Amino acid sequence: MESALSETPKHLSDAEMKDFIREGYVTLQSELPREFHEHIYQCLEPLDEQGPVGHNNLLPCVPELRDVLDEPAIRGALESILGPGYFLHFHRHDHVNLPDAGQPLHKDGDNHSHYAMDGFRRDHHTRFAMLFYYPQDTAFEKGPTGIVPRSQYTPRFALESKRREMRALAEQAREEVDALVEQGVHAREEARALSAKRYEALVSDHPELTRELERLDEPWERRKIPLVGGAGSVTIVHFDIAHGRYSGNLTDAQRHMVKFLFTRQEDPTTPSWAHETPTWLESEDAQEPIWQHMWRWHLGRPEALKDDSQPLEELVSELESGDDVEAISAAYALAAHGEPAVAPLMERFCCDDVVRRTVAAYGVASLGEIAVPHLLKRLEGADESLTARIADVLGDIGPRAKAALPALVAMLANSDPLVRRYAAEAIGIVGQGVDVAPSELVMSLRDDDALTRRNAELAIARLGSRAAGLEGLIEALRDNLYHDHHHVRGWAIEALQRVGDADAMVVVLRYLQTARWDYQPRSGDRRPPAQGRSQRD
């Protein structure tokens, strides 16, 4: 049988791409035979989703999963959304539902993507995406995953603020349990049950907070839809879509949902789907300004179109709206006014109010190249918090902010690790506008802060061949393969592969020869391949 990788990817159409931008997801169906998915299900059954067998080790345990990811329709959809050269993130997870109940809606931990500035400002641009795969038929009674369409661009300020209050209380309770275990009052195996009891008490002790959380969550729960589908159903979602288990599994068999993450390598310069017409048909939806910006960004033309049909003063007023969608849409619409929008957006972006500056930051990023000199000017005398926020927005602007590259490089020597983290990540996107990566990134690969190292590696992976030849690069990445932080290890191997250097590939192969995991019980034992499984060349 011909390798799936040799087949031409089946890209999304304009209509499908527009749906993804609006709704935040696209659902596909694997063309592999049913026997293949049954085989995958049986392979997943004995794994421990939280333990060393499974979780991030999922592919070594069930390598046939790669056949799903390599299907032309799946590759084509991922390339349509993330551009050519996208790569499989090292984090993956098999979510098992039996006998769990429904799960609170949430956005995934941004530690696997772009760390949200102030805990709120996630990256609207699709530089990351997630894929959900069902190996079994998943009807409603099976407890499917649920998502909230059109939620990917909304920070949920009020709800997440209250959740932070509850998490702080829960963290305090967990620390108390840990202290009791350390003192020998309780055995370590009792800790989980004791923590659960403490959390139940926490809910009953704070009824007003609990009721407020339920009130704020209710509109999101009302908009939730179940992702039902047959065996081989695949859904690709924006990384920041609100999701969770829609309901409990009412059957007597486990429901598996395998989640993979993917990362864009380069910002778009041209459409990467089956593009025919650049026209975007407008609607009356409040998110229209956001959607239109995302459409232009994916086309490789992210500059805001001049549009002053809505008065500047009216949009500035809407920035203060308590409705998240209205406020953020106003920020995008305001950017379409060009230079006159700079002053009101920058004033809010530099303020101390987290919500106001988060909203404004989206408008500043949408201004693009116009905003760069104003951001650089604000660096003069800026404290560490503002400096980090400026680095974050410059990175979001991307290659159009290449004039800021020297300033970002200078931030790599800042005494505050938060500044260094955002600067390192931003360089990997902004630096796509130049021919050679800055040599200072090599210094960041040896930073005392693990997350700065992680972001420097992500930057090098994105810059690829632009980083080839930097003195000390291969040695620093090789050393990071054995770092104690799994993100540092994960991005080191990706950076080495993306540099395109012969010495780097030798390091990669030697490391993988050591780290590979024989998924069979004993060397030489073989399970029969699933019927119809693709045979690679």
**Each residue's pLDDT tens digit, 346-380:** 999 999 999 999 999 999 999 999 999 999 999 99
**Do both 170 and 96 map to the same domain?**
no
**Ramachandran angles phi, psi of 213, nearest 5°:** -60, -45
Q: Give yes or no: residues 193 and 108 share one domain.
A: no
* CA separation, residue 309 to residues 87, 333, 336, 359, 531 (Å): 41, 10, 10, 21, 60
Nearest to 260 by CA among 398, 457, 62, 520: 62
Residues 204, 105 within the same domain: no
pLDDT band at 534 (very low <50, low <70, confident <90, very high): very low
Of the residues 263, 284, 319, the one at which a domain ends:
263
CB 370 within 8 A of CB 393: no
Rounded to whole angstroms, the Cα distance separating 82 from 78 reads: 6
Expressed in percent and rounded to 5, the helix, strand and coil fractions of the chain are 55, 10, 35
Classify residue 26: in a domain, yes or no. Answer: yes
What's the domain count of the chain?
A: 2
- Please check the confidence at residue 536 and state whether its pLDDT lies above 50: no
CB 236 within 8 A of CB 25: yes
Task: Report the pLDDT value the prediction gives residue 177, as an integer from 0 to 100.
Answer: 77
**DSSP collapsed to 3 states, 64-132:** CHHHHHCCHHHHHHHHHHHCCCCEEEEEEEEEEECCCCCCCCECCCHHHCCCCECCCECCCCCCEEEEE
Any domain includes 296: no
The Cα–Cα gap between 318 and 333 comes to 10
Query: What pLDDT score does 223 carry?
Result: 96
pLDDT given for residue 90 in this prediction: 92
Per-residue pLDDT at 98: 84
Name the more confident of 195 and 340: 340
Query: Domain for residue 536, yes or no?
Result: no
Measure the CA–CA gap between 106 and 95, rounded to whole angstroms: 15
110 lies in the same domain as 239: yes
Predicted pLDDT at 401: 97
Q: Is residue 162 part of a domain?
A: yes
CA distance 511 to 497: 12
Structural domain including 176 reads 158-219
CATH number at residue 41: 2.60.120.620
CA-wise closest residue to 393 among 333, 467, 342: 342
Tell me, yes or no, whether 49 and 195 share the same domain.
no
The answer to whether residues 52 and 124 belong to one domain is: yes
Token pair, residue 495, equals: 């950076």
- Same-domain check for residues 82 and 25: yes
Tell whether 529 is covered by a domain: no
Q: Are residues 193 and 210 in the same domain?
A: yes
In a domain, 173, yes or no: yes
Does 87 fall in a domain?
yes
Same-domain pairing of 127 and 230: yes
117 and 139 part of one domain: yes
Distances 64 to 39, 67, 259, 535 between C-alpha atoms, Å: 9, 6, 15, 11
CA angle 209, 212, 217 (to 5 degrees): 125
59 and 112 in one domain? yes
- For 481-533, what is each residue's pLDDT tens digit? 999 999 999 999 999 999 988 999 999 999 988 887 766 655 555 555 554 44
Q: Is 413 part of a structural domain of the chain?
A: no
Does the pTM of the predicted model rise above 0.75?
Answer: yes
Q: Are residues 197 and 251 in the same domain?
A: no
Query: Which residue in 468, 472, 481, 471 sits closest to 437, CA to CA?
Result: 468
Question: Sheet of 87-97: strands edge to edge?
Answer: 25-29, 233-238, 128-133, 255-263, 87-97
Q: What pLDDT shows up at residue 535? A: 39
